[in-house]
Amino acid sequence: MVEKKLNDTEIAAIFDAFVESREVKVSPNNQSRTFKILIVFANVYVLGFLLVYYFLKNNLLDAVDSNLMTEEYLILFDGRAQIMFWLLILLNMGAYFNFAFKALLLIALVYLISGTVDTLVLLSGLFSFADRPYFSIFILSRPLFIMTLIWMGLAFKDKLEDH
Amino acid sequence: MMIRKLGLSKLFWIALAFSYFFMMLAMYAILTLPNDTFDADNAEHVVAAVKLTYVRLSLVAVILVSYPVILFSSLKYAKYVTIALTAWAIAIYVDDYLVLYRIIEYPERGLVVFAQLIRPILLVSLLWMSFELTFTKSRAG
């Protein structure tokens, strides 16, 4: 009995047949409306707070939190702002190209929770929420942002999963 | 027998053993700090570092107990837990050296210095474990 094997041309033809369906799955348009709203919200949230932070840093807003505007704490907020900015860029790219999005989301989530706990531990007792509006809104809205990221992960359609 | 059944490489178990060694060393080093640790000029920074480490170690204690249970019950969940722990270990390492370096300062005790020295090896071990659990798809998938 002769064993029939596929040649390169035939294998390429089979791959070509699936290219279109893969492109449809990878496309950002394939994501649900919920996911799109959540990712827009996440972008607005992070960029909004980065903007407020840079305004405060450059004295463009009244620095109500004068004790938090010391060099040491500015380095802390600056570091967090830089890391969140790059995580946001990576998340957007991951979502657009549908590549490693969930892994990036997990990293962002872990970093966010760890950073929030660290900040609360280090700054606990040094300030009261009522006296520091910008900082308080930032800390108090964190659970909302964390929930958004978790929801994004659940709503995301991975190209490797069959939907 | 149970270990063989999981089909993971020797390197994985070495990495896991090293991670346990590191976490227990860190716990021992911080929990048995001598009294004169906080007498230094930069006492505030040392207190902040120790306070932060206590919070982190409480999570480490939970991990030490629960990780073997997860690993032997489901490789799939062990994969996600390991990736999350790796991300956390890298996040706090980056935080300590790039963000918190002006606020915290670890005690200059020999054991703490040694733990800081071998900290990158912990990250390598965790990364190896994450990759192995991710790419041994037939078992962890």
pLDDT digits (tens, 9 = 90+) for B27-65: 898 888 777 766 666 777 788 888 888 888 898 999 999
Does some domain include residue A160? no
| Percent of chain B's residues with pLDDT above 90 | 37
Whether B13 maps to a domain, the answer reads no
In whole angstroms, how far apart are CA A122 and each of A26, A127, A159, B109? 42, 11, 41, 22
Q: Is the pLDDT of residue A162 over 50?
A: no
Interface A-B: count of C-beta contacts within 8 A: 55
Looking at the complex, does the CB of residue B137 fall below 8 Å from at least one CB of chain A? no
Check CB contact under 8 Å for A114 and B99.
no
Query: Higher model confidence: residue A6 or residue B78?
Result: B78
Residue B13 binned pLDDT confidence (cut-offs 50, 70, 90): very high
A5 versus A47: the higher-pLDDT residue is A47
Task: Say what the pLDDT of residue B129 is.
Answer: 95
Interface of A with B (CB under 8 A): 71-73, 75-76, 79-80, 83, 103, 106-107, 110-111, 114-115, 117-118, 121-122
B91:A76 CB<8 A: no
| Residue B4 lies inside a defined structural domain of this protein | no
Structure tokens at A94: 């991951």
pLDDT, mean over chain A? 78
pLDDT in tens, A103-125: 889 889 998 898 888 888 877 66
Residue B12 lies in a domain: no
For chain B, give the mean pLDDT.
85
- With beta carbons under 8 A apart, name residues in chain B contacting A75: 99, 101-103
How far from chain centre, in Å, is Cα A88?
Answer: 4
How many domains does one find in chain A?
A: 1
Are A110 and B51 an interchain contact pair (Cβ–Cβ within 8 Å)? no
Domain of A41? 8-155
C-alpha separations of A119 from A23, A67, B87, B126 in Å: 42, 15, 18, 25
B31 found inside a domain: no
Q: What is the mean pLDDT of residues B112-116?
A: 89
Nearest-angstrom CA–CA distance, B35 and B125: 33
Residue B14 belongs to some domain of the structure:
no
> pLDDT tens-digit profile of A122-141?
776 665 656 666 667 777 78
Q: How many domains does chain B have?
A: 1
Give the domain extent around B63.
43-140
Quickly state the pLDDT bin for B6 (edges 50, 70, 90). Answer: confident
Q: Is the pLDDT of residue B67 over 60?
A: yes
B9 vs A71: which has the higher pLDDT: B9
